[in-house]
């Protein structure tokens, strides 16, 4: 019987999308049960109320690296895990870079104030954005330097690391400043455009940024 992945999280959430991308890469069916991060409902699925939480094969997981590793190993012949020790280490290195460095700065100090705040009737905090832009540029340049060396973040092949970084870069490009910076970084831009053609990216594309929760 084909497995089905149920994710609890906001419909528009980078980490929820990362898990959906890896499910789509594995050919799994998946759904998102819209659930707000930090809500009482989310606490029923994730003790720290972060998004997403996942249910599959009568198992319950939270934390995106754990969810994605399980999906790929159990349902995709580990296709997105490099086999060599160095490649595996690089994959986890870049998953952490995406999760702990690039995501927080781009989300909190560019996408939220520039894109989400106006949707909620608030004026963007221009100083917050202006102060963050050099830091955002630095982070993106670190990714650019890596992609000038190799085709994908973990090495020669697409891996979980690319599945993590792609939605973070796409969300960054919801802000005009993000689009402009990525356009100046040829290796990152080429990687981003090529990955955007993958069916998994298209199948999981956010319906409408105005639904961001």
By the rule CB under 6 A, 106 interacts with ligand GSH? no
Of 27, 29, 31, 38, the residue at the interface with ligand GSH (CB under 6 A) is 38
Cα separation of 187 and 144, whole Å? 6
Strands (E), the chain: 4-9, 29-34, 53-56, 59-62
Sign of CA dihedral 160, 144, 180, 131: positive
By the rule CB under 6 A, 15 interacts with ligand GSH? yes
Stretch of residues binding ligand GSH (CB under 6 A), selected from 13-21, 24-32, 176-184, 190-198: 13-21
By the rule CB under 6 A, 152 interacts with ligand GSH? no
- Nearer Cβ to ligand GSH (174/185): 174
Q: What number of chain residues touch ligand GSH (CB under 6 A)?
A: 11
Stretch of residues binding ligand GSH (CB under 6 A), selected from 7-15, 110-118, 179-187, 199-207: 7-15
Find how far residue 172's CA is from the centre of its chain: 11
Q: Per residue in 59-73, is it b (16+ CB within 10 Å) or e — as a string? A: eebbbbbebbbbbbe
The most distant pair of C-alpha atoms in the chain lies apart, rounded to whole Å, by: 53
Number of Cα atoms under 13 Å in the Cβ half of residue 73: 8
Stretch of residues binding ligand GSH (CB under 6 A), selected from 9-17, 118-126, 142-150, 192-200: 9-17
By the rule CB under 6 A, 51 interacts with ligand GSH? yes
Of 14, 69, 172, 204, the residue at the interface with ligand GSH (CB under 6 A) is 14
- Nearer Cβ to ligand GSH (19/154): 19
By the rule CB under 6 A, 172 interacts with ligand GSH? no
By the rule CB under 6 A, 47 interacts with ligand GSH? no
Q: Are strands 29-34 and 4-9 parallel, antiparallel or unpaired?
A: parallel
**How far is residue 146 from each of residues 76, 83, 149, 157, measured CA to CA in Å?**
26, 20, 5, 14
Write out the residues near ligand GSH by the rule CB under 6 A: 13-15, 37-38, 50-51, 63-65, 99
């Amino acid at each position: 019987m084909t497995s089905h992945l149920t994710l609890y999280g906001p419909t528009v959430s980078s980490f929820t999308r990362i898990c959906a991308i890896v499910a789509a890469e594995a050919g799994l069916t998946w759904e998102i049960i819209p659930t707000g991060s930090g809500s009482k409902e989310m606490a029923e699925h994730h003790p720290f109320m972060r998004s997403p939480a996942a249910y599959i094969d009568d198992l319950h997981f939270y934390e995106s690296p754990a969810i994605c590793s399980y999906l790929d190993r159990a349902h995709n012949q580990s296709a997105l895990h490099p086999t060599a020790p160095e490649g595996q280490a690089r994959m986890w290195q870049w998953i952490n870079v995406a999760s702990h460095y690039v995501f927080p700065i781009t989300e909190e100090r560019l996408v939220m104030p520039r894109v989400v705040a106006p949707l909620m009737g608030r004026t963007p905090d221009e100083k917050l954005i202006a102060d963050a832009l050099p830091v955002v540029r630095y982070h993106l340049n670190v990714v650019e330097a890596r992609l000038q060396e190799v085709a994908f973040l973990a090495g020669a092949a697409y891996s979980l690391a690319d599945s993590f970084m792609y939605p973070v870069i796409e969300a960054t490009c919801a802000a005009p400043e993000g689009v402009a910076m990525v356009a100046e970084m040829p290796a990152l831009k080429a990687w981003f455009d090529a990955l955007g053609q993958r069916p998994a990216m298209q199948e999981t594309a956010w319906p409408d940024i105005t639904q961001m929760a």
